[in-house]
């Protein structure tokens, strides 16, 4: 068996310890004689799994009691519709568009009400985060929406927008649990788990209780109502049970590593190795405004498409995989989530240095 360094943006690298533990428990989960995949979601064993997962997440993120934690399906994209359907009481919401995912969420919200694009960084291929200290937030906006870490473009909000009292809704898919957060600053925090936490399909929604009401847009399907899932502790129907079990293991892994403060320290150390090299290299360049750089997704280019392709090909052969950039940015992107070991980044940079030397006349 040989594992590669997987720099995929998602689904992405998971902690090896977690995968091993899951493998050990595959045929017989702790004396139950069955896999978690084969288990009733109403069984005692599963009840413990989902309860512990929630408790561990609450502890890690210091989630106050007036927030619900929901484990749902449909990925992050399902939330693009679920958010307006549940929260647009006045049928008005403000969106800050900093990348493809925010744009998709904005376009989806336009189906349900008046979605206003109050800021955007599309003018410069989403390579920065706009100044959000004094935006024209709509008087009657039900919420202000952001994508906090832009997976494709590699930008991250370092300061949250001034929402002028409106609830902030944030897609944190690609920065979930990468650093401490103050949950009280948000109305809703949500993310698909396949970037930093677990297997695709699960989406975690952390939502302030007063935002969960019966008063949703007419025609909202039962399965898309936050209230039904909140009232049933995420067990209204069969949840993505195995995925939640893996998420729970990752929460425990993060706790054992020292929690979110320790994650942040580790992630900063990792990202610095790569960014420092990008800043000194004469071949590779980062594509993002420095102040807005993400700790999780690092896009870079050589400025020469053929050289980019050569690099990706040789890197893959050397065991550094999924480095090809998104088609809208080109070049390369290294996603260096929580589970990417620091050695992976160190070795990638060594490889890049050698490539630069070999390919410079």
Ligand X SMILES: *Cc1c(COP(=O)(O)O)cnc(C)c1O
Catalytic choice (68, 156, 166, 195):
195
Q: Which of 11, 75, 319, 330 binds ligand X (CB under 6 A)?
A: 75
By the rule CB under 6 A, 333 interacts with ligand X: no
Q: Parallel, antiparallel, or unpaired for β 202-208 and 67-73?
A: antiparallel
171 is catalytic: yes
CA distance 96 to 227: 26
Tokens of 128: 């920065």
101 is catalytic: yes
The CB density around residue 158, as the number of other CB atoms within 10 Å, is: 9
CA distance 308 to 332: 7
By the rule CB under 6 A, 10 interacts with ligand X: yes
By the rule CB under 6 A, 178 interacts with ligand X: no
State which residue, 75 or 180, has the beta carbon closest to ligand X: 75
Q: Please give the angle made by the CA atoms of 174, 83 and 134, to the nearest 5 degrees.
A: 75
Least CB distance to ligand X at residue 191 (A): 7
Q: Which of 54, 56, 142, 171 binds ligand X (CB under 6 A)?
A: 171
Exposure string over 96-109, b if 16+ CB within 10 A, otherwise e: bbbbbbbbbbbebb
The residue nearest ligand X at its CB is: 75
Q: Which of residues 93-132 bind ligand X (CB under 6 A)?
A: 101
By the rule CB under 6 A, 322 interacts with ligand X: no
Least CB distance to ligand X at residue 198 (A): 11
Interface with ligand X by CB under 6 A: which range of 121-129, 170-178, 228-236, 314-322?
A: 170-178
Sheet strand arrangement including 92-97? 67-73, 202-208, 188-192, 168-171, 144-147, 92-97, 114-120
Binding mask 148-167 for ligand X (x = CB under 6 A): ---x----------------
Residue pair 270/178 in contact (Cβ under 8 Å)? The answer is no
56 is catalytic: no
Catalytic choice (94, 142, 171, 292):
171
State which residue, 203 or 283, has the beta carbon closest to ligand X: 203
DSSP state of 332: E
Residue pair 146/94 in contact (Cβ under 8 Å)? The answer is no
Judged by CB under 6 A, the number of residues near ligand X is 12
By the rule CB under 6 A, 147 interacts with ligand X: yes
CA distance 275 to 285: 9
Looking at the annotation, which residues are catalytic? 101, 171, 195
Residues that bind ligand X (CB under 6 A): 10, 75-77, 101, 147, 151, 171, 173-174, 192, 195
């Amino acid at each position: 068996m040989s594992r590669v360094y997987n720099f995929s943006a998602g689904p992405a690298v998971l902690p090896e310890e977690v995968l091993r533990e899951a493998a050990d428990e595959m045929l017989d989960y702790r004396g139950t004689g069955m896999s978690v995949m084969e288990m009733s979601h109403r069984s005692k064993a599963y009840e413990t799994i989902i309860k512990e997962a929630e408790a561990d997440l609450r502890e890690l993120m210091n989630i106050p009691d007036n927030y619900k934690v929901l484990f749902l399906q449909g990925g992050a994209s399902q939330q693009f519709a679920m958010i307006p359907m549940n929260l647009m009481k006045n049928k008005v919401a403000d969106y800050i568009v900093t990348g493809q995912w925010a744009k998709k969420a904005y376009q989806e919200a336009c189906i349900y009400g008046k979605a206003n694009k109050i800021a955007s960084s599309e003018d410069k291929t989403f390579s920065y985060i706009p100044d959000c200290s004094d935006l024209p937030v709509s008087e009657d906006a039900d919420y202000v929406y952001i994508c906090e870490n832009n997976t494709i473009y590699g930008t991250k909000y370092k300061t949250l927008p001034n929402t002028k009292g409106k609830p902030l809704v944030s897609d944190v898919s690609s920065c979930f649990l990468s650093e401490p957060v103050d949950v009280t600053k948000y109305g809703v925090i949500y993310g698909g788990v396949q970037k930093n936490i677990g297997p695709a399909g699960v989406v975690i929604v952390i939502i302030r209780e007063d935002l969960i009401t019966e008063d949703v847009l007419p025609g909202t399907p039962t399965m898309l109502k936050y209230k039904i899932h909140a009232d049933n502790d995420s067990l209204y129907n069969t949840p993505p049970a195995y995925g939640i079990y893996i998420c729970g293991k990752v929460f425990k892994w993060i706790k054992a590593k020292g929690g979110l403060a320790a994650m942040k320290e580790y992630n900063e150390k990792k990202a610095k190795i790569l960014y420092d090299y990008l800043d000194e290299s004469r071949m590779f360049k980062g594509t993002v405004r420095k102040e807005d750089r993400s700790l999780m997704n690092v896009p870079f280019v050589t400025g020469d498409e053929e050289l980019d392709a050569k690099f990706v090909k040789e890197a893959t052969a050397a065991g550094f995989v999924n480095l090809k950039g998104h088609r809208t940015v080109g070049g390369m992107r290294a996603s260096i989530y929580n589970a990417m070991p620091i050695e992976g980044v160190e070795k990638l940079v060594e490889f890049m240095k050698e490539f630069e030397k070999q390919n410079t006349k």
